[in-house]
Structure 1
Amino acid sequence: MNNMKVNHISGASLAITLNENVFYTRGYGVFSDGRTITGSTPFPIASLSKSFTALAVLQLVEQGLVELDAPYASYFPDLLPEDERVRDITIRHLLNQTSGLTDKVEPDMTRSPQYQSLEEMNRSLIAVKLANDPGKAYSYHNPNYQYLALLVEKVSGQSFSVYLKKNVFDPLGMKHTFNVSSTQQIIENPAIPRGHYLWFGYPVSKAEPSWFIDGPAGIVSTAEDMAKWMLAQYHSRLLAPELMEQFHTAGQRGPYGMGWLAEEDEQGGRTISHSGIFWTYKAEETIDLDQQLGVAIMFDSGLNAFVNYSAFVDGIARILKGEKAETSVFNSRSMETVMVVLVIGTVLWGGIAIIRMYRSKKSITAGKLIISSVGRLLPALILLSLPQLAAFIGAGRVLPWIGLWTTMSSLIIWLAVLSLVNITNLVCRYRLFFRTR
């Protein structure tokens, strides 16, 4: 609760499993209309959905209907890609995020309008040119799991949502878990708490932007149901043991395996985890397979540059292991306070600098003016280049401006204020320069 308070998170739902038991499920906070959030309140789990999609594919592998190393295109004979390398993409490549597809060659979040169906999504493979040869490089890309969802539909003869319900949710007793195809269905469901983004640390209610999420991010679940999902990772109720082992194994190009980040520490302890990101919702899940400790938590606020969501899971795990969990100094309250001070300080600094400039009797040389222009235009250039910088930092993920705003609104405001102050200063400098000529 203290971590929620210092990070200004208004609502969350937590599930903890220990050994073969549900240790704890609980909701925190309230809906905007005052309803209490409980362990049975549904939350979008975003990219935590990928492990469910991977499980569905592996179930079909177990039935002999899908081969992991078979080309994806072999299941869609009518697919005639212009880039012949598309024919080399295997089911394993899609699962491991090594298909050669990236956000740059196949827009995901930045695509407008968004796709409306998996079939429409599949047709994008006709014209796409791969960024890498299949299997050569890892690149996290949501559409990889949309193609897998369509594969499940093609092979099973059922819609992806129906397949998940019959073969995953119902057998595990996840009675309040379901799959949607777009964020619009989340917005229209009154049972789901409204999402938020943080503006200078304060939660602002906002509808999740339009996004086609069927396959990689479409599942809505509860803390109580997520506890059942985590317990299912310790046995082979839904999958043969050898395939369960593959399900929890890292990929050939890094820790990303089949819908999980699979890691092993120095002592040989195995952990599977995943995070889920929307602009107004966030989710985290970590399962220690050897200690049989699972923690999943869903939030009604989205990705934010100053909120370390994984610290919630780490802190809970530390407490359960008998260790002390401390609130990080790097939190929304402290960092947003710094941003407020920066904005106010920038305005004051800019005003004082202009007053001193007009009072100064020193002449402005052309050389100093040019050097000053370069330095003072730099914040504006950084602001305009934020999508490219975010893509570089985020390993190639291309973010829309709405995503950048909800993730780092205070930073964008400060950069905008700094840019405006600097440009105003430059205008004054140029006026003084030409006035003295």
Structure 2
Amino acid sequence: MITSILSTLIVSAVSLGPATAAAPTVDGAAVDAVVRQYREDTALPGVAVAVTHGTEVVRTAGYGHTPDGDPVSKHTTMAAASVSKSFTALAVMRLVESGRIRLDDRVRAHLPEFTMADPRAADITVRHLLDQTSGLSDTTHRSFSGPPVHTLAEAVAAMRDSKPAAAPGTRWEYHNPNFQVAARLVEVVAGLPFADHLRREVFAPLGMADSRTADTASDLPPSAAGHVKVLGLPVALPEPPAFGNGSGGVLTSAHDLAAWLIAQNNGGRGPDGTSVATPRSIAETHTPSTASPSYGLGWFVGVTPSGAPLVDHGGDLFTSTAYQALLPASGHGIAVLANTGMRHGDAQAIGARLIALVEGRRLPPVDDPHTLVDVVLLGLTPVVGALALRGALRSRRWAARRRSTAWTVARLLPLALPLLLLTTIHRVVGLLYRGRDVSWAQVPYLYPTFVVLLSVAALGGVAVLVARLAAAAGRRGSAG
């Protein structure tokens, strides 16, 4: 979901210290040490990790537990979130390889149901969907805060009254429905449900028996549920309602992601040599588009802090995160599935540390400012509540000092501002996330203690407002 666009920035922006003279041996014990230390420092409940080198599996393992208390293993099915986009891209490439579509075909030529309230939509190509240059935008199509959808067909139909924000091919913008349209295109062209096509063309050939797809948050199995941390402690919560198939619906495991990483680094051939794509198709997905030097087809393209080539993608749900990285120069692959939400970015942070391990760089200290913020905001909450109670109890005294009705109303209006902010907070958060669409139900997962403080302020403001209006009305009645 929301902040998958930040995964490459997170990896490349963190200063991990100078390189050592020689890279250490990257083996299972070294991987375990990195992950276990991170869990000790952050109270991360559960995480699964895969590290590969060439066609070999260095380590696949689970650490910690699910919200139900079950141990996380290398076969535990967890949410891949926006890492799913690379799977959708490969599903499309399988159709390209068979000659059933071309990347530069217009989408509507194969998917007539894809219509929008703007003639420019007719020029959107398959490539535009996969490299996020379709012109579609959260600012013109609200897929999270709009009416709910439950299938890929409904997701495409929901776009009929929307418009592109830019001409196709002229601007890069991360927009989840691009990949939902692509997945629906696969369904129609292949004549199979998207889940079945992905299983037949990708999962089964690679031996990814733990993997499947989900349509909505309600389809997540208990093992893919996650947490939000408050005061540094994990709180198990259900994922807020959302549709994500095609853009974020893959469910997978560390064991399965190891096979996927090997195929990506091995020209489309899995651990046993089975091919799921041609080397040309794999290279195509890893090649930046002309409109963005940092995004290919379902993958970000950049460099590590050491300057080595990096092909990666992050995934963010509100209760879990995921990350995958390919290091073409060394032949390593890294994947992480963590059961805490995007507020913490734990999968991306562990991925950055494992990249540092591979490159022989010093790992960064863990920096989690959220606990201090939670302490401050929760500390302010009873203070705000007490001030509201005091204001309500002293409302008669307040009314007795007011002579002008207009001035009284003007003094009361600010009391409604916390309620106004509370009801529109998702729009404010959307602006903070560069115009991304956010539903109101998702905001407490991002800022839980702030929402608690704001809710107390809103209720307190309304209580004081009502008490003062009643006191002012009573004073006027007695005066009359």
Please report the TM-score for the alignment, with normalisation by the length of structure 1: 0.84
Amino acid at match of 2:104: D
The equivalences for 1:338-417 within 5 A come to 338-347=376-385, 379-417=418-456
Alignment CA distance shift 1:402-1:202 (3 Å): farther
**1:154 and 2:188 matched:** yes
Q: Could you tell me how far apart the structure 2 residues matched to 1:353 and 1:120 are?
A: 50
Q: Could you tell me how far apart the structure 2 residues matched to 1:266 and 1:327 are?
A: 16
Query: How many positions carry a matched residue from both structures?
Result: 431
The equivalences for 1:112-127 within 5 A come to 112-116=147-151, 118-127=152-161
Q: Could you tell me how far apart the structure 2 residues matched to 1:76 and 1:422 are?
A: 52
Alignment CA distance shift 1:424-1:209 (3 Å): closer
Corresponding residue of 2:179: 145
Amino acid at match of 1:245: A
Q: Could you tell me how far apart the structure 1 residues matched to 2:46 and 2:472 are?
A: 55
Corresponding residue of 2:15: none
C-alpha contact 2:116 2:163 (8 A) present in aligned 1: no
Alignment CA distance shift 1:355-1:75 (3 Å): closer
Amino acid at match of 1:216: S
Deviation at 1:111, TM superposition (A): 3.2
Deviation at 1:350, TM superposition (A): 6.5
What SS does structure 1 have at the residue aligned with 2:333?
A: strand
Corresponding residue of 2:315: 276
What SS does structure 1 have at the residue aligned with 2:447?
A: helix
Deviation at 1:317, TM superposition (A): 2.2
**1:239 and 2:280 matched:** no
Corresponding residue of 2:18: none
Corresponding residue of 2:97: 62
In the alignment, which of 43, 68, 80 is matched to residue 78 of structure 2? 43
Deviation at 1:297, TM superposition (A): 1.4
* CA displacement, residues 266-307 of structure 1 (integer Å, 9 cap, x when unaligned): 875221222222222221222222233332211223222x55
Alignment CA distance shift 1:152-1:357 (3 Å): closer
- Structure 2, unpaired ranges of 5+: 1-35, 269-275
Q: Could you tell me how far apart the structure 1 residues matched to 2:451 and 2:56 are?
A: 45
| Percentage of pairs with the same residue | 29
* CA displacement, residues 226-284 of structure 1 (integer Å, 9 cap, x when unaligned): 11211222121333333322211223333232111111368752212222222222212
Corresponding residue of 2:272: none
In the alignment, which of 127, 145, 148 is matched to residue 110 of structure 1? 145
Q: Could you tell me how far apart the structure 1 residues matched to 2:249 and 2:85 are?
A: 9
Q: Could you tell me how far apart the structure 2 residues matched to 1:76 and 1:28 are?
A: 43
C-alpha contact 1:269 1:288 (8 A) present in aligned 2: yes
In the alignment, which of 201, 219, 232 is matched to residue 185 of structure 1? 219
Amino acid at match of 1:214: N
What SS does structure 2 have at the residue aligned with 1:385?
A: helix
User: RMSD of the TM alignment (CA)?
Assistant: 3.4
Please report the TM-score for the alignment, with normalisation by the length of structure 2: 0.77
Alignment CA distance shift 1:175-1:372 (3 Å): same
**1:293 and 2:332 matched:** yes
Q: Could you tell me how far apart the structure 2 residues matched to 1:242 and 1:390 are?
A: 40
C-alpha contact 1:45 1:217 (8 A) present in aligned 2: yes
C-alpha contact 1:200 1:339 (8 A) present in aligned 2: no
C-alpha contact 1:100 1:131 (8 A) present in aligned 2: yes
The equivalences for 1:203-282 within 5 A come to 203-237=234-268, 238-254=276-292, 255-264=294-303, 269-282=308-321
Deviation at 1:396, TM superposition (A): 2.3
Alignment CA distance shift 1:410-1:5 (3 Å): farther
Corresponding residue of 2:24: none
